[in-house]
Chain A
Amino acid sequence: AQSVTQLGSHVSVSEGALVLLRCNYSSSVPPYLFWYVQYPNQGLQLLLKYTTGATLVKGINGFEAEFKKSETSFHLTKPSAHMSDAAEYFCAVRAGWGGSARQLTFGSGTQLTVLP
């Protein structure tokens, strides 16, 4: 079975500071990992994904994440936070093989607050 743990339900950073959102996963199949962002009363938007290949993946809005198999982690970072980055962030892993590959298992989410 697959699971995702996001450490820290709330993270606050100052504008211009480094953003680090933590995600650890457990997967019985080679993990495909995703980060999504959700703004209030909206659906989820894909930030970036890792499937295979390069372990450092770059996404939209200046975000990137590094897949570390030995640590079973996929932390999301951004060098300099903007006020517009304030949102809920979800880490997810594909649910399995075959038909389950279409599904995602989500973490509990991290609310990012950016302070002026």
Chain B
Amino acid sequence: GAVVSQHPSRVICKSGTSVKIECRSLDFQATTMFWYRQFPKKSLMLMATSNEGSKATYEQGVEKDKFLINHASLTLSTLTVTSAHPEDSSFYICSAPVPSSGRARVYEQYFGPGTRLTVT
């Protein structure tokens, strides 16, 4: 199946600094990628939809200027947490939809392994 990677898997940064997280589709092209945030023992919260070659679409309540998303190529989307604060500490997961074989308009989501961000 399709493989999605994320880098780094873990990052610790100081408050006020910025952190970039990469999401790559390794064996397929992804015109769309999704960024999720997951709090401990909670479900995934969709933050934004990353679109190759155009602006990302943010969910309500997500600060665009704080969570910068760039989808510069068909295999790479990046999420930059700007001026990070301790409350931004979380598990960030990306995913890419892949058409399911043999079924029109049926997509399977392939998830990256996640990035654990800790802001001190």
Contact = CB atoms under 8 A, between A and B. Distances in A.
A49 B34 contact: no
Contact of A51 (B6, B97, B106, B112): B106
Nearest to A32: B106
Mostly, the A contact residues are: mixed
Interface in A86-107: 90, 94, 97-99, 101-104, 106-107
B58 interface: no
B113 interface: yes
Given A41-B114, A42-B113, A44-B93, A106 B44 contact: yes
A108 interface: yes
Contacts of B97: 102-103
Given A42-B114, A43-B6, A101-B106, 5 more contacts: A41-B116, A43-B4, A44-B44, A102-B107, A106-B43
25 contacts: A34-B109, A36-B111, A41-B91, A43-B93, A43-B95, A43-B111, A43-B113, A44-B93, A44-B111, A46-B108, A51-B103, A51-B106, A52-B103, A90-B43, A90-B44, A94-B107, A97-B105, A99-B32, A101-B105, A101-B106, A103-B46, A106-B44, A108-B42, A109-B42, A109-B43
